[in-house]
Chains A and B, each alone.
Chain A
Amino acid sequence: MSLLEIHGLRKCFGSVVAADDIAFIVAAGEALGIIGPNGAGKTTLFNLIAGGLFPDAGTIRLDGHDITAARPHQRCRAGIARSYQIPRPFENFTVFENLLVAAVHGGRKSEADAAQLCGEILNRCRLLPRANALAGSLTLLERKRLEMARALATAPRLLLLDEIAGGLTESECAELVGTIKELRATGVTIVWIEHIVHALVAVVDRLIVLNFGRKIADGNPQAVMSSADVQQIYIGIEA
């Protein structure tokens, strides 16, 4: 059963083609990783899926419904939640209030029901001790966790994680990977963009590689990482 279907997706910024005829399907319950060099169009792809950008061509379907023209809040209510690469917490809110607004507006819950859900998510994301602290006072790891927790508070079926491990130390990264693994076990479908490939491979079942807005590989993580194209474009640049 496919949850997300993308066909012929195209987006240009002037002469730069950030998404060039991208097509893929994400099955319900799957964890998909997306890698690619800087400027490959990974975040653009997320913005197209979450609704922050509208495509020049192509369609996006969630559960078979065409959501290509839907606005971001409608996509959120339909079940798509995202984290931002550079955390964008509501800084004048507490950590708990950050989740509450997501659960009440995105998840369409009453505040009382939302409180229970938010408490459980905070506990799972190890943010409970900071629940009543202002989001503006959090450390980077806590902000990354908050991005994920806030997205989860909307009770999504599809969770888009944008470089959630970027900028973290090795041990913080391992801790976050642990949390994401636990999350997977709850059944939520995950699409995860990450530069830190070993973190990604520890979680995902499938890997897509983007370069210059095009999909150049799609499949089993080990097979994708060892293919000649990917070795040349991706690993070659990093080495």
Chain B
Amino acid sequence: MPPAASAHYRIERKTPASYAAAGAACVLVAVLAAIPGFAGRNVVEELIFVYYMLALAQCWNLLAGYAGLVSIGQQAFVGLGGYLLFALTIIAGLDPLVAILLCGLIAAAFALPTALVVFRLRGAYFAIGTWVVAEVYRLGFAQFKRLGGGTGTSLGPEITNQVFGIEWIKSLFDVRTPAARDIISYWVALALAAATLVLVYLILRSRRGLALGAIRDSEDAAESVGVDYFRVKLGIYVITAVATGMIGALIYLQNARISPDAAFSVLNWTAYVIFIVVIGGIGTIEGPIVGTLVFYLMQRYLASFGAWYLIVLGALAIAVMLFAPKGLWGYAAGRYGLALFPIRRRLLVKNQD
């Protein structure tokens, strides 16, 4: 029976499963935050790596998987963040944690003019264009003598040991300075990874998320129903640059040594990230999580095989693209109807009597 003309309609998004997932996620983050209390330093260091790769993967997935901006130049913002951190701490004398926040803001200021250049290109040309821009950034930062020029420079202990809160952590966990430094980096990395994930989720649930889904399916049709796709894409590009810049700053605070070739490495900061997103499942929030775990395990157990490690990595990526094009998570989600992050909107009808 069709509903009466006076029927009331509303949107439903949450499901009991999503409440449970949200609760579980909070517990998980709390547990992860407590890990430095009982795990060794090597575990903490490895998890820092997992967190920042996850955060980078979430960013690239938002950019490529949702906004259709297949960039292979995100190393531009990792390197930018890293170099800005060095500049702000060594030259401007700021606290590294303050510097990380500033790196995000400054990355946005760089991303806007960069976008105006690369957004003139489409598809494959966009991808190559972003790479070229990243090379320009690399060559640009190699000119700064105060930051070591082409060979790079290090953060002295006078900076890394003065991070805000380090004395408190030393007494809380009863550890030496280097371990306390790791713990701070660990918490910042965990916070960045969690924040990036929440950010992506909130964007997808917003009006902008609706626009992104429409653009992904048909750019023309999206425009014809009032979506300003240039603005939506520009917004996503800048937001991703902010997050990527902050992650880059954290990575190089943890490394304490930077050089143009490493900071703007397409292999480390984009190729591996694409691998993670593709095998995990592009265009899903869960995919990058799965991908990061797979990547971490392979890195841990295969890295000692040298070139074979990269060959296995590439072969796995090809196999996934051939047999499960939606990635491991996409394959599982399609088969078992899983969704930890519900972004679908359902229409509910209530007939008024």
Q: Does A193 contact B (CB under 8 A)?
A: no
Q: Does A81 contact B (CB under 8 A)?
A: yes
Interface positions of B from 194 to 221, Cβ below 8 Å from A: 207, 210-211, 213-214, 216-218, 220-221
- Does A101 lie within 8 Å of B3, measured CB to CB? no
Please tell me the number of chain A residues within 8 Å of chain B, measured between CB atoms.
Answer: 44
Q: Does B333 contact A (CB under 8 A)?
A: no
Q: Does B226 contact A (CB under 8 A)?
A: yes
- Does A73 lie within 8 Å of B226, measured CB to CB? yes
- For A102, list chain B residues within 8 Å (CB): 225-226
Closest to B212 in A: A101
Closest to B229 in A: A73
Q: Does B349 contact A (CB under 8 A)?
A: yes
Instruction: Assess A93 versus B226: contact at CB under 8 Å? Given A115-B11, A116-B9.
Output: no
- For A94, list chain B residues within 8 Å (CB): 344-347
Q: Does B120 contact A (CB under 8 A)?
A: no
How far does the Cβ of A40 sit from chain B's closest Cβ, in whole Å? Answer: 22
Contact with A along B309-353 (1 / 0, CB 8 A): 000000000000000000000000000000000001111010000
B7, B210, B345: the one within 8 Å of A105 (CB) = B210
Interface positions of A from 86 to 125, Cβ below 8 Å from B: 88-94, 96-97, 100-102, 104-108, 111-112, 115-116, 118-120, 122-123
How far does the Cβ of A142 sit from chain B's closest Cβ, in whole Å? Answer: 15
Q: Does A215 contact B (CB under 8 A)?
A: no
How far does the Cβ of B231 sit from chain A's closest Cβ, in whole Å? Answer: 9
The binding surface of chain A is classed by DSSP as helix
- For A122, list chain B residues within 8 Å (CB): 347
Q: Does A82 contact B (CB under 8 A)?
A: yes
A51, A90, A91, A112: the one within 8 Å of B10 (CB) = A112
How far does the Cβ of B206 sit from chain A's closest Cβ, in whole Å? Answer: 9
Q: Does B228 contact A (CB under 8 A)?
A: yes
Q: Does B8 contact A (CB under 8 A)?
A: yes
How far does the Cβ of A216 sit from chain B's closest Cβ, in whole Å? Answer: 28
Q: Does A190 contact B (CB under 8 A)?
A: no
- For B344, list chain A residues within 8 Å (CB): 94, 97
Count of A-B contacts judged by CB separation below 8 Å: 123
Contact with B along A8-31 (1 / 0, CB 8 A): 000000000000000000000000
Instruction: Assess A119 versus B225: contact at CB under 8 Å? Given A92-B213, A100-B210, A105-B210.
Output: no
Q: Does A207 contact B (CB under 8 A)?
A: no
Of listed A101, A132, A150, residue having the most chain B CB within 10 A = A101
- Does A101 lie within 8 Å of B214, measured CB to CB? yes
- Does A92 lie within 8 Å of B346, measured CB to CB? no
- Does B214 lie within 8 Å of A90, measured CB to CB? yes
The CA-CA distance from A107 to B227 in the complex, in Å, is 10
A84, A96, A105: the one within 8 Å of B346 (CB) = A96
Q: Does A52 contact B (CB under 8 A)?
A: yes
- For B171, list chain A residues within 8 Å (CB): none
- For B211, list chain A residues within 8 Å (CB): 101, 105
B5, B210, B223: the one within 8 Å of A104 (CB) = B210
Q: Does A208 contact B (CB under 8 A)?
A: no
Closest to A93 in B: B213
How far does the Cβ of B345 sit from chain A's closest Cβ, in whole Å? Answer: 6
- For B216, list chain A residues within 8 Å (CB): 90, 92
The CA-CA distance from A107 to B217 in the complex, in Å, is 20
Closest to A147 in B: B221
Instruction: Assess A90 versus B345: contact at CB under 8 Å? Given A101-B227, A119-B9, A123-B7.
Output: no
Closest to B283 in A: A92
Q: Does B2 contact A (CB under 8 A)?
A: yes
- For B5, list chain A residues within 8 Å (CB): 120, 123
- For B8, list chain A residues within 8 Å (CB): 116
Closest to B225 in A: A102
Q: Does A164 contact B (CB under 8 A)?
A: no
- Does A81 lie within 8 Å of B225, measured CB to CB? yes
Q: Does B184 contact A (CB under 8 A)?
A: no
Q: Does A183 contact B (CB under 8 A)?
A: no
Interface positions of A from 5 to 63, Cβ below 8 Å from B: 50-52
Closest to B3 in A: A123
How far does the Cβ of A145 sit from chain B's closest Cβ, in whole Å? Answer: 14
- Does B225 lie within 8 Å of A101, measured CB to CB? yes
Contacts A105-B207, A120-B5 aside, 11 further interface pairs with beta carbons under 8 A come to: A51-B224, A73-B226, A73-B229, A76-B225, A97-B210, A101-B222, A101-B225, A116-B8, A119-B9, A120-B9, A131-B347
14 A–B contacts from the bound complex (CB under 8 Å):
A71-B228, A73-B227, A77-B226, A89-B217, A92-B216, A94-B347, A97-B210, A100-B11, A101-B227, A106-B225, A111-B11, A111-B207, A119-B347, A150-B225
Binding site for B on A (CB under 8 A): 50-52, 71-73, 76-77, 81-82, 84, 88-94, 96-97, 100-102, 104-108, 111-112, 115-116, 118-120, 122-123, 128, 131-132, 150-151, 153-154
Which 10 pairs of residues, A with B, have the shortest CB-CB distance?
A: A106-B226, A119-B9, A102-B225, A76-B226, A90-B217, A72-B223, A96-B347, A105-B226, A88-B221, A101-B210
Binding site for A on B (CB under 8 A): 2-3, 5, 7-11, 207, 210-211, 213-214, 216-218, 220-229, 344-347, 349
